[in-house]
Amino acid sequence: MRERFLVGFDPFVLPFLLGMAFVLTYCIIGLIKVILQLSKADRRKLAVSLFKPANAWKNLRDMFCDCLIHVKLWKRNPKLGYMHSSIAFGWFMLIVFGHIETFIFVPKKAGLFYYPIFFRYFMEMENYNLRGSFFFFIMDFFLLVVLSGIVLAMYKRIRSRFFGMRRTTRLSITDRVGLYSLWAIFPLRWIAEGFTAGIAGGSFMTIPINLLLKNFMSNPENITVAWWLYSIALGTFMFALPFSRYMHIPAEILLIPMKNAGLKVYHPRKGFSLAQIYTCPSCGVCIDACPMSASRQNLKDTTVYLVRQIKRNNARRMNAMTDKCLMCGKCQEVCQIALQSYDIRMRIRERATYNVGLKYDYLDSYQPETGKCKVLYYAGCMSSLTPVTGRSIKKLLDTARINWTQMDAGGGVCCGRPLILAGRRNEAAALIEKNTAVIESSGAQILLVSCAICYRVFKEEYKLKGIKVMHYTEYFNELMEEGRLKLNRGELRYAYHDPCDLGRGCGIYDEPREALSRVGIIAPAEKERAMSVCCGGSVGSLTLDFESRAPITEASVQNMLFSNPDRIVTACPLCLKTFALYSPVKVVDFAEALCDGLEKKS
């Protein structure tokens, strides 16, 4: 194998070269920008983690699994996974082997960016040998892999359901330019290499193309046209890349080390979150996952579109979309890049001004009598509207002979989470401080909480010295495990709903199920645990009104009815109230369900 041209250059490589130069410049500037936006502490954290061997290994592994193989998508749907990894991994291998070829055959040209890409144009085959045909085969093989991915990608645009997606993202104009040029690159490469296959050699993909139109193809005029088109497609893609979703390709390489360094989102569109925003590939998996998608009018407010508006810095839409969100965290759970949409939205909310001027100095007079007790029960604001919960908890605690007191029996101070969800973190501090003082002065060992919303804020924001915060699902399960609470098993089938703040928020999935399986039979929901569907009542949403929540709740109820349960069980007063609106099946609180096991004692 030898070079065809002494100069080793042809003007057709220019579109590609310019595009490449543009992308590299853009990415380097972007990289510097993101790094500069990080706080000093974060920068140090990132630097330290880069050099830790364990972390470095993790970074490499994540880059391989996430960027090239798309493991998360494989798990979601193998067809979707194959489509993405065939393009990403196939293309990557084409580049890698292109470079290896260049290194082996023309090492002095290895420094030229374009050489490995247009290798087949610049080379001429002298004689057939094993090494050469190995590369011919490999390159054609990966070209086939990529092409198969492209065919699937085209099919996905027509029928996304085939890939397990009901809806796909509506693409922006630059996304379309990127998409169509990406689709064009590989067929054009195939044709271009087919043209030169007679000269430079080829394998099972390119040779047949060459043979097919022998006379037409051996015309040198046509050869150059084909390679020009291939280069233009590449160039177009490169120029569109920074302004399209394909920015995720370079951005993810930055995001992975940042994530593994444990950075936190501190601003909606700076530093760590900027890296996340650009890593979003707009795949649209979050659209189907979003509980708001139960009504069409909300589709445009899902995370993928929020990311687009953040990129455009459209403050009005960013705020509107954020205020509408239920903050259930499901999009984050299904996201293949684990975009921290919850944190990003929180930062947007925290920056919104409402001119409320909240003042809680009136709380100084609040001194509830808790007495001294082992277990202090905090019911929360909403539980006074679901008296069955309180009554059932009382029954269970008294049956287990627990020394307990309710802290907010005569009206208490809100836990602070609704304020935090409205972006009023600083104001919430006053409530947290007050509650902390009351709880600590009670001398209790355990703070028992029956509301999933309260529980999350107690876990995340409160620092209670020597006091264990327990959700009643954890606590009662523990009591049963220890044999202090004995309940009888009945025949009722319970479908347990994972409240967002308890499940995805605090990772409590097993305890409630274990406890319930001691009093009855668990009837699984269609989607549960981390995939659970928000009930639609969430205080996380600021702007969704009562009517627009109805379809969300109805969809969530349907999800719960999957295996025809006798009861829907939930462990949050808000879910309880919300489900009760539209459920054809009786909706009960977790403690109420456990009490079914008390009654059968004879």
List beta partners, residue 497. 570
Q: Which two tokens stand for residue 278?
A: 């650009």
Nearer to another protein among residue 363 and residue 585 (C-beta): 363
Q: Is 356 in the site for another protein (CB under 8 A)?
A: yes
- Name which of 229 and 294 has its Cβ closer to another protein: 294
* 303-312 and 272-279 helices, crossing angle to 10°: 120
Rounded to a whole number of angstroms, the minimum distance from the CB of residue 577 to another protein is 6
Is residue 544 involved in binding another protein (CB under 8 A)?
yes
**How many residues are present in the chain?**
602
Cβ neighbours of 393 (radius 10 Å): 26
Part in contact with another protein (CB under 8 A); list of ranges 2-10, 200-208, 222-230, 406-414:
406-414
Q: Which is nearer to another protein, 474 or 589 (CB)?
A: 589
Q: Which is nearer to another protein, 163 or 462 (CB)?
A: 462
169 is an interface residue for another protein by CB under 8 A = no
State the amino acid at position 563 in one-letter form: S
CA gap 125, 137 in Å, rounded: 14
Q: Counting contacts by CB under 8 A, is residue 145 touching another protein? A: no
Residue 601 binds to another protein (criterion: CB under 8 A): no
419 sits near another protein (criterion: CB under 8 A): yes
413-423: burial string, b at 16+ Cβ within 10 Å, e else: bbbbbbbbbbb
Instruction: Pick the binder of another protein from 40, 359, 401, 601 (CB under 8 A).
Output: 359
Residue whose structure tokens are 């060992």:
445
Give the shortest CB-289-to-another protein separation in angstroms: 24
Taking CB under 8 A as the criterion, the residue among 412, 503, 536, 597 binding another protein is 412
Question: What is the greatest pairwise CA distance in the chain?
Answer: 98
- Please tell me whether residue 323 binds another protein under the rule CB under 8 A: yes
Residues with Cβ within 8 Å of 26's Cβ and at least 6 positions away in sequence, in order, are 242
CB of 168 to another protein, least distance (A): 31
Q: Does 545 bind another protein (CB under 8 A)?
A: yes
Task: Restricting to residues 579-598, name those near another protein by CB under 8 A.
Answer: 580-582
- DSSP-derived letter for residue 484 is S
Quote the least distance from Cβ 113 to another protein, whole Å.
Answer: 53
Instruction: Give the whole-angstrom CA distance, residue 570 versus residue 501.
Output: 12
Nearest CA-CA partner of 591 in 358, 425, 401, 393: 393
Six token digits for residue 394: 């009382």
Our measurement of the distance from residue 389's CA atom to the centroid of its chain's CA atoms, rounded to an integer in Å, reads 34
Which residues, numbered 378-397, are part of the site for another protein (CB under 8 A)?
381-382, 384-388, 391
Of the ranges 45-53, 337-345, 416-424, 465-473, which one interacts with another protein (CB under 8 A)? 416-424
Choose which of 546, 564, 601, 602 interacts with another protein (CB under 8 A): 546
Beta bridge partners of 378: 449
CB nearer to another protein: pick between 388 and 531: 388
Q: Which residue has the tokens 């899902």?
A: 302
Comparing CB distances to another protein, the nearer of 477 and 578 is: 578
CA distance 227 to 593: 70
The residue among 267 and 395 lying less far from another protein, judged by its C-beta, is: 395
20 or 581: CB nearest another protein: 581
CA atoms within 13 A on the CB side of 83: 20
**Site size for another protein, by CB under 8 A?**
44
Q: How far is the CB of 548 from another protein (least distance, A)?
A: 9
Q: What is the rounded distance in angstroms from the CA atom of residue 453 to the CA atom of residue 329?
A: 13
Using DSSP, state whether 277 is helix, strand or coil: helix
Query: SS3 for 574?
Result: helix
From 127, 215, 362, 466, residue interacting with another protein (rule: CB under 8 A): 362
The per-residue b/e assignment along 221-255, b for 16 or more CB within 10 angstroms, e otherwise, is eebbebbbbbbbbbbbbbbbbbbbbbbbbbbbbbb
Per the structure block, which two tokens stand in for 120? 């087949």
Task: Give the C-alpha separation, 73 to 165, whole Å.
Answer: 12
Complex with another protein: residue 83 or 419, whichever CB lies closer: 419
- Stated as kind and residue range, the H or E segment containing 428 is helix 425-442
Instruction: Report, in Å, the least distance between residue 384 CB and another protein.
Output: 6
CB of 431 to another protein, least distance (A): 6
- Binding residues among 217-276 for another protein as defined by CB under 8 A: none
Euclidean distance between the first and final Cα of the chain, in Å?
A: 91
What residues between 422 and 451 interact with another protein by CB under 8 A? 422, 424, 431
Nearer to another protein, 359 or 465 (CB): 359
Question: What is the nearest approach in angstroms of another protein to the Cβ of residue 315?
Answer: 15
Which residues of the shown chain bind another protein in the complex (CB under 8 A)?
323, 353-360, 362-363, 365-366, 381-382, 384-388, 391, 410-414, 416, 418-419, 422, 424, 431, 539, 542-547, 574, 577, 580-582
